[in-house]
Amino acid sequence: MRIGVLTGGGDCPGLNAVIRAVVRKGTVVHGHEFVGFRDGWKGPLEGLTMPLGVTQTRGILPRGGTILGSSRTNPIKVDGGVERIEANLRELGVDALIAIGGEDTLGVATSLAAHGLNVVGVPKTIDNDLSGTDYTFGFDTAVQVAVEAIDRLHTTAESHHRALIVEVMGRHAGWIALHSGLAGGANVILIPERRFDIDKVCDYVTTRFASEFAPILVVAEGAQPLEGTMELQTGELDAFGHVRLGGIGQFLEREIAARTGYEARQTVLGHVQRGGTPTAYDRVLATRFGLHAADAVNDGDSGVMVALRGTDIVRVPLAEATGELKTVPLERYEEAEVFFG
């Protein structure tokens, strides 16, 4: 069998570990051949390939990013996109695809599988917001990066008696904010799933200062104030219709300073959360996903995604993974609220 591999959407620590495991198991154990598609769905759409064998995947386990490149190209939005992909795969003699991606990349994989293409998905996102799997690789690394930042910010916040706001990624799901905030001892955590009351946030800031400590606020980029209380700016849309966010930290900086009289400063972690070497946990999870994806293709399975359930890797229908985002349940957020203020 000749199998194509692609990585789509925002990059994520552990992508190379998946690619390495897919190729190693697929070649050495199952005897298949691989071709790399460059830059997400742009690769199959435009026939952009690169050689992908055991040689090309040596030494990449700890490397961040993806050797295949990535993009947010949405072939479903391109006129005749699906037909072009089918034709290119036929011409290249590709029998099956392994698509490593998040909600958008796997959404395209779901549509292509429905068109009769052989596609197996591997869940990837630092946001941990894909349904069907307990965790995605990349999330642990992103949380680790954020916690290291929070630990450092605690000491400088206290030296200067400032409220420090840490803006982390998470457009629709606050998993990174919740986990890094809990692990880093944040005094306020704001997530997209729960609109915040700015007066309450300022109360937490004041209470924290009254205890002789300086507050750290961890805020997901998609967090929103209670309706009608503060106007937030919105950004441009990408090919999947997602708004480019950012700015909530700056907004809070201004509001907290104006309302409490304490100095407030923001730190936006941004793409630092996505770059660099994966944690050991992410390397292991990514490797196991890769091994099982190679098995799924070898078994002739299609329209499925490998997923983590407890400590087992299982296969779930792609549609299950992309149907609905896995957001933070209210009761999980309430666990963290005990430490606010």
Residue 46's SS3 state is: helix
Nearest approach in angstroms of CB 123 to ligand F6P is 12
Minimum CB distance to ligand F6P smaller for 170 or for 225: 170
Here the tokens at position 198 are: 């700015």
Binding residue for ligand F6P, selected from 124, 274, 292, 326, defined by CB under 6 A: 274
**Binding test (CB under 6 A) with ligand F6P, winner from 5, 106, 117, 126:** 126
Question: Within a 13 Å sphere around the CA of 106, how many CA atoms are in the beta-carbon half?
Answer: 30
Q: Shortest Cβ distance from residue 270 to ligand F6P (Å)?
A: 8
Of the residues 84, 171, 194, 259, which one makes contact with ligand F6P according to CB under 6 A: 171
Work out the widest C-alpha separation in the chain, in whole angstroms: 69
| Ranges of H-type helices in the chain | 15-24, 42-46, 81-92, 103-114, 139-160, 175-184, 198-210, 248-260, 280-298, 318-322, 330-337
177's CB contacts (< 8 A; 6+ apart) are 168, 170, 189, 190, 191, 218, 219, 220, 223
Q: Which residue has the tokens 């910010």?
A: 153
Q: Which of 11, 104, 127, 129 is catalytic?
A: 127
Q: Is 70 in the site for ligand F6P (CB under 6 A)?
A: no
Site map 221..260 versus ligand F6P, x via CB under 6 A:
x----------------------xx---------------
Q: Is 219 in the site for ligand F6P (CB under 6 A)?
A: no
Judged by CB under 6 A, the residue of 8, 10, 184, 278 near ligand F6P is: 10
Given candidates 15, 45, 169, 304, which one binds ligand F6P under the rule CB under 6 A? 169
Structure tokens at 319: 């549609």
Q: Which range binds ligand F6P by CB under 6 A, 36-44, 77-85, 121-129, 178-186? A: 121-129
- For residues 2 and 32, the answer to whether their CB atoms sit within 8 Å is yes
Of 79, 15, 66, 7, nearest to 42 by C-alpha is 7
Annotation says 238 is catalytic: no
Residues annotated as catalytic (active site), given as ranges: 127
Contacts with ligand F6P, residue ranges (CB under 6 A): 10, 102, 125-127, 169-171, 221, 244-245, 274
